[in-house]
Chain A
Amino acid sequence: MMELLTLWKGWFPELIDGYGLSLEVTALSLGIGVPLGLVLALAVPAKSKAIRISALTFVEIGRGAPVLILLQFVYFGLPTAGLTLTSFASAVVALACCTGAYTSEIIRAGFEAVPYGQKEAALVIGLNGLDALRFVIVPQGLRVALPALLGFSIMMLQATSLCFTIALPELVSRASNIGSTTFEYMPVLILAGLMFAVICIPATLLVSVLERRLGRHAVR
């Protein structure tokens, strides 16, 4: 047991650097992806056919293709079209697109949960379409969508582990490097798993508490 702890102590600084990078990628892709999801959620029911179809295509491809394929498409595929990105930029672009596609569905479900009377009331008191969205529909819809969005964010942190395949030195690629040089795969992977668990377990519990709290109003 002591042996294990000393091993872990030696590896921890390197792994924590990688974890920082994982968190950075998560934060950036959520920061870009969630607003993108909001735009897509508003674009899917749009009146213009061209906007509707392009938004739907984006969402269906983003949700239908594996994240791993999206990552490799950006990192290995785009250079053949003359656009070379670093592994960090590729990770953020691919994961942000994926976030946009998934969260657009979550946000749209949130908007649909807002009673129709709210929209009618907003129009009746003289708000124009944009203001009705901004002051009435979006705040209420996002509130409904919040637990699902947070749940998705946890999934996204776990998805950054796939950036291992595009040579981004995040937590899992560092753990696997340590494993392949020392052959101590089991201990280093356990440590990496624990590091994910330390954030993901409390976050999952928090989301379920939040779900119950916010659900309380909906029941009444």
Chain B
Amino acid sequence: MIMDLTAILNGVPWTIALTLASFIVGASLGLPLCAMRLSTIGALRLTSTAIVVSCRSIPPIVWLFFVFFGIGNGLIAMSPFTAAVVGLGVVTAANMSEIYRGALTAIHPGQFEAAKVLNLTRSQQFRDVVLPQLTRIALPSGATYLIGLLKDSAVASTIGVTDLAYQSYHISQQTFRGLSVYAAAALLYILLSLPIAWLSRWADVQLRSRVSR
């Protein structure tokens, strides 16, 4: 069993790397996507809405297959890891843009007016007024999404990323101790999500303590 566990643990760095990489991709791409969604130009708004809606209504596994087998087969050769980051990154971007949009509507309209009245430039308005509040409001839902993403990253094992789920599958097939192997894998996923929950709670308290209510 100790042997099994060390073998499963080999997958943990890949799971963490995949989750963080796709979250970084998604969290950054989510911003322009959200900006497009709120744009005054109809075409931009429509494109962004189409991307968000289709990313949220097609299962991640289909996106991964599409990127890895569809695009990766003929057009651009990709490693399973890259394909997984691209696929999960796009899905994350769509979901993060919705989280940003929710956070933007939660910022008091007076804040935008005040920033304009103070004659701040547009970049100052965004950087000094909107962004700090946006981060604070979006943080808890962002962290919840990150935990969800950690679990969704297991899907990448189907295209051959050697993550936790992949290792568990192979070890359970080799040893026929599926019960303990998968129980260990499930516990590891839960353990991995705990630090995210703690960090987000800590950061939330920190950010909140700077605001007077």
Contacts and interface: CB of A to CB of B under 8 A. Distances in A.
A117 B54 CA distance: 43
A77 B183 contact: yes
B57 A204 contact: yes
A164 B185 contact: no
Contacts of B173: 76
A112 interface: no
A176 B154 contact: no
A70 interface: yes
B189 interface: yes
Contacts of B155: 68, 162
B190 A189 contact: no
A65 B189 contact: yes
A112 to B, nearest CB: 18
A13 interface: no
Contact of B178 (A79, A158, A161, A197): A79
A201 B57 contact: yes
A154 interface: yes
A32 to B, nearest CB: 20
Given A69-B189, A76-B173, A164 B61 contact: yes
B183 to A, nearest CB: 7
Nearest to B61: A161
B47 interface: no
A189 B54 contact: no
B65 A176 contact: yes
Contacts of B183: 73, 77
Contact of B65 (A69, A72, A179): A179
Contact of B58 (A60, A77, A185, A197): A197
Contacts of A76: 169, 172-173, 178, 182
B61 A77 contact: no
Interface in B144-169: 151-155, 157-158, 165, 168-169
B80 to A, nearest CB: 15
Contacts, number: 130
A60 B182 CA distance: 16
B11 to A, nearest CB: 12
Interface string B167-210: 01100110011110111011001100100000000000000000
B22 to A, nearest CB: 14
Given A76-B178, A80-B177, A196-B62, A185 B69 contact: yes
A81 B179 contact: yes
A85 interface: no
Interface string A169-195: 000100110010001011001101100
A67 interface: yes
Nearest to B157: A68
B128 to A, nearest CB: 33
A165 B65 CA distance: 13
A78 interface: yes
Interface string B52-71: 01101111111101100111
A69 B59 contact: no
B73 interface: yes
A175 B61 CA distance: 12
B70 A65 contact: no
B57 A69 contact: no
A64 B190 CA distance: 5
Given A77-B182, A154-B57, A172-B61, A189 B66 contact: yes
A188 to B, nearest CB: 9
A129 interface: no
Given A161-B59, A193-B66, 10 more contacts: A76-B172, A76-B178, A77-B172, A161-B62, A162-B61, A172-B65, A175-B62, A176-B65, A190-B66, A204-B57
Complex A-B, nearest 5 residue pairs according to Cβ-Cβ distance, in ascending order: A200-B57, A65-B186, A77-B178, A64-B190, A73-B182
